[in-house]
Structure 1
Amino acid sequence: MDYSKFISEHSKARNPSSIRALMPYVNRKDIISLGAGQPNPATFPFASMTVTLKNGDVMEMDPELFQRCLSYDATAGLQPLQDWLRELQKIEHQPTVEFDVAIGAGSQDLLTKGLEMMINPGDAVLVEDPSYTGALAFLDTQPCDVVGVPTDTSGMIPEAFESLLANWPASNPHGKKDQPRPKVLYTTPTGGNPSGVTISEERRKQMYDICHKYDIMILEDDAYYYLQFGNKRVPSYFSMDVDGRVLRCDSMSKILSSGLRIGWVTGPKVMIERINMHTMASNLQPSGVSQLLAFELLQKWGHDGFMEHVGKVSDFYREKRDLFVDSLNKYMKGRAEWVIPEAGMFVWVKLLGGITDSFDLVMNKALKRRVLAIPGVAFKPMGDKTPYIRLSFSNVVKEDMDEALRRLAEVIDEEAGTTQQ
């Protein structure tokens, strides 16, 4: 593929830092470094690091790697962790295209860099409608128009997606008749945030084929991939990729710790290089200590142990989902509609009773009853009114699920009564 058409002029203008380009040589014992301005580790107060796991196991960080991680290191991340993640991608996704891997300060760091890399002023960017509010908030700062792809209870609708592209620019909701056809699709295909929807393998294949036909890059933001509740995970876009048109973002936040701030991006080498250039010019590298902590644990587990762990995490959230659905059935039937999620942490709930805008109900009336939800407008690409709200079951015990939904039901009844008067 010719990736130059997908890379913005702003991104192309970034050149490698002459100092950061030398980082791979800094830790070589056969080289005497008079180059990069590394502070002397002798001045650091940290001698070692030991971590105790919940099962009682104690991990002692490798002394040499620990000292290395206290200093500046490679832009793309700690090499042993890169290698471990590269092998994970081969095991899990069995890609048929060449790819590279880079580590970032959480997947949000990487997906925003990936989006920025593909946006020239005046471009249109395709997203699901509804879509992840973190991505929408970033896109609001970019010189682009955001275009929502219609969805139903199974995710993006391939026929609507193709119609949007085939009829561009007449189908452009922003009414710009000279705007080029979009060249990137941003999607959260598994346990979507906020929809909770996991797009089926069949639909993913249809969406990929349409992207192939119209030469669209896919930014696959898959933070909930390992939180699928079925016995078999739905294959990723990355696993289906035959063109090298998928840039995939994964996250440790949902499976190890959100505070570690570790994500990784997988995709065509040319595009990973551009993301690394951005990191060179901004935050230099992801945290070395966080990477070492994750690497030591992953190395201890091995890839089989990692799969066992994510299986337990998935089971944990599946049980939470089941309890929450029971509470929804108890308090929200007749007041709302929802689809039971097959992955992730969210239920996308449509309020009934003639309610067309959930914003005031959530931000004022529900808060007064001391219950918190997210109004659906936060996830709408065009910011239009919606009766939907996003509810999360990840951190709530059963008693609080019942009480929160009982309070919310009262608010909905009051709102519906006012609407119908």
Structure 2
Amino acid sequence: MAPPSAVEVTAESDTSALTALSPLSLKGVSKRRAAAGRLIAGVAAEANVESFKGATQHLHKPKAKRWDHHFSAESASRKGNSLKQAAKYLRTPGLISLGGGLPSSEYFPFDELDIKVPQIGHFSPAETHQNGAIVKAGKHDLAEGKSIYDISTAFNYGQGSGSAQLLRWITEHTEIIHNPPYRDWFCTMTVGSTSALDMALRLFTQRGDFIVTEEYTFATAVETAAPMGVGCIGVAMDGQGLLTTSLDSILSSWDPSAHNGARKPFILYTVPTGQNPTGATQSLQRRKDIYRVCQKHDVYIFEDEPYYFLQMQPYTGSNAPDAPPPASHEEFLSSLVPSLLSMDVDGRVMRMDSFSKVVAPGSRVGWITASEQVVQRYMKHADVSTQGPSGMSQLILFKLLDEHWGHAGYLDWLVHIRLEYTRRRDVILAACEEFLPREVVSWKPPMAGMFHWLKIDYTKHPAYPRLSVPEIEESIFLKSIDHGALVMRGSWFYAETTATHNTMFFRATYAAAPFDKIREAIRRFGEAVRESFGMTDGMVG
């Protein structure tokens, strides 16, 4: 079934509109843009996020809490980029600027950029190759009235927030999907979520601090924190991710003397949807419970959500008919587990979004949503470090997301991606059912993301307890390599790398390999497990 088609909103007057029943029309994006007038933002233009939000939609909401008591000394000392503060004067009529050291676009060796992209509703590689749309960007499209964003603007220096043109789309998208329940929420662009995490840790933590996270967590997050002198405390997990009872217990019983005098953790880093590496997805109730525990202990939340839109169709079994895809944008959006941002009445969530998993990781474009106070501090750091995402990437994404697909077309694309990852998930699950020995390997079907988490009952290994858990894990890993299949060792994802663990897992991904290769890799891993456990008589050829 094809994804729902694009929805247009056509203004009739200043006070009414012809709309289709969809989240996009309810948010009135087209009408809002028409009322605001044409966006004019030249080189290094400041972006007014408040002007991209609904004018009256948020006035009834409370303002966010202030977080001065949690900001690091480094953050408090940042003054921002003094030169970029002059950008606000560029809007002065008739002003001749000899201020900023901006290269002349006359010397950019690019005149036109053509990109072939999918037509809405025709997203397959074959359809795109044969009949994809060519979107064009010229050097002087803005001056010539052809577009509000062009090469001369995008390829020059910009603000740490990113361009106003793409940031407007991001702000609207965030309002459509999450509609944060406090007034002064803001967005700013990032150079992907790994960079965002690095900067967020510097914003809040100092050497000797600890943060709390899932007991198995994104390895790069641990590796980002460690050189800063920031440690991780692992929270116990179940099939829905981190356990609130464990989180509450850790925070309630914190003993500084047991942690080198460290103060009680006040940062939670979590991946709520399709968690890396476990694939666990927090239910709505679990998210509400986590938020309440964080309120109780005044904990600030880093909500890292690269897999949010990879929430898949329900798993119906290898021989059951597929669940029908969402029939409309409303049905698609209502099927998503609400985000922590969408229930954040305090402004205690920094949500990290990314285009990496749903468009392309090489774009290195993402964004955070948080309170204005937090975002302003983040931007001061960005202005003297990353400076913002690549202008070339921003222009490409703007052409695709704003001018070509629009918000409705992007939702269509996300439905398409949902169905594609559902097929991939089902392929690996079918292979596991066929090739893995259920006597020693168990799993739960992932609801979202890219990862399949395989639990190994090491107590049935013939060398246990003579060999330790890490030794058995290593032997299975190396045996799998010998058989020609690479799966990741679960111990590589420990939040507490020096702690003792009595569980064993391996992480497989179904994100990229062709279907036949997924099946073959699982078959080879099954052979390796059987051989390691002395079950060679049951090998599947």
- The answer, yes or no, to whether TM exceeds 0.5 is yes
Alignment correspondent of 1:52: 116
Whether 2:363 is the aligned partner of 1:256: answer no
The CA deviation at 1:324 is: 0.8
- How many Å apart are 1:359 and its aligned residue? 4.8
Match of 1:136 in 2: 222
- Check whether the contact 1:39–1:71 (CA below 8 A) recurs between aligned residues: yes
Alignment of structure 1 residues 10-29 onto 2, 5 Å: 10-26=74-90
Contact 1:120-1:144 within 8 A present in 2 as well? yes
Alpha-carbon deviation of 1:254?
1.1
Say what the alpha-carbon RMSD is for the aligned residues: 1.9
Within 2, Cα distance between the matches of 1:190 and 1:308?
Answer: 20
TM-score calculated relative to the size of structure 2: 0.74
Partner of 2:267: 184
Q: Secondary structure at the match of 2:534?
A: helix
1:228 maps to which of 288, 293, 311: 311
Q: Structure 2: how far apart are the matches of 1:148 and 1:349?
A: 19
How far apart are the structure 1 equivalents of 2:262 and 2:310? 38
1:165 alignment partner in structure 2? 251
What does residue 32 of structure 2 align with? none
Partner of 1:80: 165
Once the two structures are TM-superposed, the CA of residue 390 in structure 1 deviates from its matched residue by: 0.9
Asked if 1:336 corresponds to 2:419, the answer is no
User: Is contact 1:228-1:342 (8 Å) kept?
Assistant: yes
2:489 maps to 1:375:
yes
| Greater Cα offset, 229-238 or 363-372 | 363-372
CA shift, 1:218, in A, is 0.5
Greater mean deviation of Cα atoms: 56-65 or 284-293: 56-65
- 1:366 CA displacement: 2.0
- Tell me which stretches of 4 or more aligned residues in structure 1 moved more than 3 Å: 23-30
- Helix, strand or coil at the partner of 1:281: coil
1:18-167 matches, within 5 Å, as 18-26=82-90, 30-53=94-117, 54=128, 55-61=131-137, 63-64=141-142, 65-97=150-182, 98-167=184-253
Is residue 217 of structure 1 aligned with residue 293 of structure 2?
A: no
Identity of aligned residues (%): 30
Question: Shift in Å at residue 364 of structure 1?
Answer: 2.9
Provide the residue aligned with 2:419 in structure 1.
315
Paired with 1:147 and 1:261, the residues of 2 have a C-alpha distance of: 29
Structure 1 CA distance for aligned equivalents of residues 482 and 96 of structure 2: 65
1:33-65 per-residue CA deviation (whole Å, 9 max, x = no partner) reads 111211222111101111111241110125332
Q: What is the letter of the counterpart of residue 344 of structure 2?
A: D
Question: C-alpha separation between the residues in 2 aligned to 1:176 and 1:264?
Answer: 33
* 1:387-411 Cα deviation digits (max 9, x unpaired): 1111000112222122111211122
- 1:222 Cα offset (Å): 0.4
Partners of 2:159 and 2:383 within 8 A in 1: no
State the match for 1:302 in structure 2. Answer: 406
Query: Deviation at 1:370?
Result: 2.0
Alignment partners' CA distance in 2, 1:28 and 1:359: 65
The TM-score normalised by the length of structure 1 is: 0.94
- For residue 26 of structure 1, report the CA deviation from its aligned partner: 4.8
Q: Which amino acid aligns with 1:189?
A: P
SS in 2 for 1:350: strand
Q: Which amino acid in 1 is paired with 2:231?
A: D
Q: Does the 8 A contact of 1:119 with 1:143 survive in 2?
A: no
| CA-to-aligned-CA distance 1:317-356 (integer Å, 9 cap, x gap) | 0111011100011112223111111011101111224363
Deviation at 1:362, TM superposition (A): 5.9
Matched, 1:205 2:288: yes
Q: Which of 457, 468, 471 is the aligned partner of 1:352?
A: 457
- Deviation of 1:79 (Å): 0.5
Change (3 A) 1:361 1:251: farther
Aligned residue for 1:408?
525
CA contact (8 A) 2:312 2:418 kept: yes
Out of 409, 417, 431, the position equivalent to 1:327 is 431
Q: Which amino acid aligns with 2:101?
A: G
